[in-house]
């Protein structure tokens, strides 16, 4: 039997992290009607398989169970309606999915908001990314930030597999900084507001999973 190397373990860990961020990003995107029922079953089964790879599996098992229960009876239209109710600007946003609405720390918020937009966009640009013109969304949308972390973890997998030491250092450093400066600053506040407005609903449970995952991932 071939012994696993540290690189193999690190690569597998980064792959699991990429999957988790991808699943979270998908959950916070507007629901899609195509294959909705099979996809919602796949969403839960994918999370169950993922947490089995974690040492802290028991920490995530209860919230996955609640997530499954809250999603079970949803049709496409009922979940779409809940998404619109909570997050759509035309209906009056009940819980903002945008980072800068949760980090208003000074009276000069307009100035700070512009700085935050530029800082987040700078992270994306440094790794050759920008928000899609086909599906334009603010750079500080929760799903966009989660997709960025998914891409970085995927890049870490490739760098590890190719033994690109400098690239490994860069993508790890970027992930640490992005969690510290952005995603980690507001995931908890976002979860708290979801729990108040969408009590025991799918999105409040997804928000709890997001908060637990980001807290867990800070270790890396």
Residue ranges per structural domain of the chain: 6-217
Instruction: Tell me the Ramachandran region of residue 32: left when phi exceeds 0, alpha when psi lies from -120 to 50, beta otherwise.
Output: beta
| Mean pLDDT in residue range 172-192 | 95
Residues 6+ apart with CB under 8 A from 59: 212, 216
| pLDDT higher than threshold 90 for residue 214 | yes
Let me know: does 71 contact 202? Beta carbons within 8 Å: yes
pLDDT digits (tens, 9 = 90+) for 68-119: 999 999 999 999 999 999 998 877 789 999 998 888 765 555 557 788 888 9
Let me know: does 24 contact 206? Beta carbons within 8 Å: yes
Distance CA(147)–CA(140), nearest Å, equals 11
pLDDT digits (tens, 9 = 90+) for 21-70: 999 999 999 999 999 999 999 999 999 999 999 988 999 999 999 999 99
Q: Which fold has domain 6-217?
A: TorD-like (1.10.3480)
Distance CA(71)–CA(131), nearest Å, equals 29
* pTM, full prediction: 0.91
Q: How many residues does the chain have?
A: 220
């Amino acid at each position: 039997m071939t012994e696993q190397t540290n690189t193999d373990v690190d690569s597998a860990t980064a792959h699991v992290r990429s999957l988790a961020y991808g699943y979270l990003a998908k959950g916070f995107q507007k629901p899609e009607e195509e294959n909705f029922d099979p996809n919602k079953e796949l969403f839960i089964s994918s999370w169950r398989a993922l947490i089995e790879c974690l040492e802290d599996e028991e920490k995530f098992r209860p919230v996955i169970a609640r997530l499954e229960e809250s999603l079970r009876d949803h049709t496409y239209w009922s979940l779409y309606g809940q998404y619109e109710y909570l997050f759509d600007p035309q209906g009056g946003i009940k819980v903002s999915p945008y980072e800068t609405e949760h980090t208003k720390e000074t009276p000069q918020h307009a100035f700070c908001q512009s700085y935050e937009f530029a800082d987040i966009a700078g992270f994306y640009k440094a790794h050759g990314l920008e928000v899609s013109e086909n599906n334009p969304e603010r750079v500080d949308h929760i799903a966009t930030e989660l997709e960025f972390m998914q891409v970085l973890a995927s890049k870490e997998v490739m760098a590890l597999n190719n033994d690109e030491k400098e690239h490994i250092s860069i993508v790890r450093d970027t992930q640490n900084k992005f969690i510290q400066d952005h995603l980690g600053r507001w995931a908890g506040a976002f979860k708290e507001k979801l729990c108040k407005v969408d009590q025991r609903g799918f999105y409040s449970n997804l928000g709890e999973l997001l908060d637990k995952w980001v807290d867990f991932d800070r270790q890396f």
